[in-house]
Amino acid sequence: MTDHLSFHTRFSPAEFDAEYNLRAGRPDYEVTVIPGWIENSEKARDNLDCSLDIRYGTGPKQKLDVFRCGDPAAPTLVYFHGGYWQRGDKSIYSFIATPFATAGINVVVVGYDLCPDVTITRISEEAREAMAHIWTHGEALGINRDRITVMGHSAGGHITQMMMATDWPAFGDGLPADLIKAGMPVSPLSYLEPVRLTEALNAGIRMDAAEAEAESPMTNHPPATDAPQLVVVGGAETSEFHRQARMYAEAYQTGTRDIGLYIVPDVDHFDELNVLVDSNSPFFKKSCDMIHGKGPNQ
């Protein structure tokens, strides 16, 4: 693990920006990527059986959207969006639900408050509140609380790892230790210090060194159970995102905890989500296998 965390001399500040400021490498982000996701998300809300803006906490964005497949006993996928903890909204990511609901999986897309209005520490706490609400109110939501898989992309990948590290009985009375049956961190930020050193990004996050250390899955938050995980990264992503994914998988794989690493061929940080929602893609099929209880290496 030490080798993975020894990075301070590898990059200049400008090189850190190139590794982590991903929008800069996609000039079409605002004109193609996001509009495409918004359009497909509107279609998902129009066509799927859904309940929107269900409040789970007091924060302005502490709401979730539920997309039902028609079978309340089917497994449930809980999805946390990315945006470096400071951008995005759950409504942009309704499109994630379409292929999964079609495949017989219920989906919950979670919203959360953003930096700098709140801290990353608070975002992790809000995510725990969301998971506790989903489990406690599963029947009312029309989903199966006993078959929950968590997935998140980018900052949402970090949130996923933090959920996998949560001691649920200590967090809330009556919550089971195995509340989450499987996790899929997609392009996760497993170690936060490099992000803190990326000035363009941290200007909006306002994370200090102490919070970067405290909120890093690699330093303070190992998985709390042996639930299987599939860590995912795009083949065309930067070397830092490959390192972020690989370090987590290598550090926390054990003889009893199966953690796989899947590289989505030939796609960058954003297009890997378009591959995810292609029901014919290996990425989608691997995700469904995880949700249905197969291990990442089966």
Question: Each residue of 141-179: pLDDT tens digit?
Answer: 999 999 999 999 999 999 999 999 999 999 999 999 999
Average pLDDT, the chain: 94
Q: How far apart are the C-alpha atoms of 49 and 46, rounded to whole Å?
A: 8
Supply the pLDDT for residue 10: 60
Supply the pLDDT for residue 16: 77
- Strands 49-55, 63-68: parallel, antiparallel or unpaired by DSSP? antiparallel
**Residues ≥6 apart with Cβ < 8 Å to 177:** 167, 168, 169, 224, 225
pTM of the model: 0.95
Supply the pLDDT for residue 21: 82
pLDDT above 60 (res 259): yes
% of the chain exceeding 70 in pLDDT: 95
Supply the pLDDT for residue 6: 53
Burial of residue 23, with CB atoms counted within 10 A of its CB: 0-12 exposed, 13-18 middle, 19 or more buried: middle
- Average pLDDT of the residues in 65-79: 98
| Domains within the chain, CATH numbers bracketed | 2-291 (3.40.50.1820)
Lowest mean per-residue pLDDT among 143-147, 157-161, 186-190, 200-204: 200-204
pLDDT above 60 (res 114): yes
- Average pLDDT of the residues in 209-232: 97
